[in-house]
Amino acid sequence: MGQKAPQYILEKLPPLREKVETIEILRQTNKAAAALAELKGIAKTIPNQAMLINAIVLQEAKDSSEIENIITTQDELYKALAINKSKISSETKEVVNYRKAIFYAYETAKQQGFLKVNDIIDIQQQLVDNIAGIRSTPGTVLKNDTTGEIVYTPPQDKAEIIELLSNFIKHYNETDNDLSPLINLAILHHQFESIHPFYDGNGRTGRILNIIYLILNDLIDVPILYLSSYIIENKPEYYRLLNQTNRTGKWEEWIIFMLKAIEFTSKDTIEKITKIKNQLDRTIQKVQIEAPKIYKKELVELLFEQPYSKIEFVVKKLKVERKAASRYLKELEKIGIIESQKVGRETLYINKGLIEILKQ
């Protein structure tokens, strides 16, 4: 009570060029761009893209939600995806929704070649699973997690929010800008979070907009680069810089933070992809040698597309009878490729080797 919420005027985009293109920023832009270009190249060498995307998108859904204190485990998530059961926690359900929202955004952007304000509303709707849409009742403020102090008051008036969003989306879709798209990404993410158009889900929606922006600008082909793991590790800094930029109008530190996030997560993802690819190759070899009679490339790939697999998945993918599918999975378990686990009435077959890599 009695707390005065600081209100800063949120300016429309773009900011002054000299504020966002300092020498330090340009230096860090080069590093981030190089790492991202390498990631783009390596991702192309993975023959089965679905395998890569599935694993990484789910991890991101989990991480991005974790930033907002929505916590679930990888095990629970994979089980929720493999089994249609009603008994999943609300957190897990929210992360599953987030995953859907990422795919929805990706498909929409690919189809249209741009995003509309209404697409952003649809994306947020899918992840929070309600239809409240853009804020129309005042009262939303951003507080410091630990002290409860109000640190930022976003625009309160619906008409103003909509005007700022139109300005945002215009800049979001401008792909022929001669400002580096990586610098622009940092600016756009800050602007979106500062508009804070929804009652909830702004952080997660904003982070989906980031990867889609990279795709729309041809910096990556598939949705596999996410900053959330970096943000989790540097969370106080993420909040401090969002806030500082609002207060001072100085962009440099924030932009450098985001560029570093791109550089580090690109490198991490390269490492992860390489490990996944090696694991896939090793698994193929092992099956070929130790269970040659059941070896099929699609069978092994399935275990990487669905690290928690089941008979039904094999039936569908290989178009074989249940009996054969069951035999394949048992055989693979015998040679140590997967481990079975009973969950209710279902038996799930877990690709432990892959799960280990994804956890790191």
Ligand X SMILES: Nc1ncnc2c1ncn2[C@@H]1O[C@H](COP(=O)(O)OP(=O)(O)O)[C@@H](O)[C@H]1O
In the complex with ligand X, which residue's Cβ is closer, 82 or 96? Answer: 96
- Per CB under 5 A, residues contacting Mg ion are 68, 200
Residues 239, 324 contacting (CB under 8 angstroms): no
Q: What are the CA-CA distances from residue 85 to residues 45, 60, 93 (Å)? A: 36, 23, 11
List the interface residues with ligand X, window 291-310 (CB under 6 A).
none
Does 200 participate in binding ligand X (rule CB under 6 A)? yes
Contacting ligand X (CB under 6 A), which of 142, 165, 214, 262? Answer: 142
Minimum CB separation of residue 315 from Mg ion in Å reads 40
Residue among 125, 126, 243, 266 that touches ligand X (CB under 6 A): 243
Residue closer to Mg ion, measured from CB, 64 or 180: 64
Binding window for ligand X (CB under 6 A); candidates: 5-13, 17-25, 88-96, 196-204: 196-204
Q: Among 78, 152, 172, 230, indicate the residue that binds ligand X (CB under 6 A).
A: 152
Residue 145 or 218: which CB sits closer to Mg ion? 145
User: What are the CA-CA distances from residue 323 to residues 10, 95, 150, 312, 315 (Å)?
Assistant: 63, 34, 61, 11, 9
* Binds ligand X by CB under 6 A, chosen from 246, 265, 266, 283: 246
Say if residue 155 is preceded by a cis peptide, omega within 30 of 0.
no
Partner from ligand X, Mg ion, none contacting 223, C-beta within 5 to 8 A by type: none
Q: From CA 180, how far away is CA 182, in angstroms rounded?
A: 5
How many residues does the structure list for the chain?
360
Give, as ranges, the residues between 67 and 96 that touch ligand X (CB under 6 A): 67-68
Q: Among residues 127 and 261, whose Cβ is nearest to Mg ion?
A: 127
Residue 59 lies near ligand X (rule: CB under 6 A): no
Tokens of 70: 């929505």
Q: Residue 208's closest CA among 74, 98, 360, 87?
A: 98
Residues 6 or more apart whose CB falls under 8 angstroms from that of 106 comprise 211, 212, 215, 223
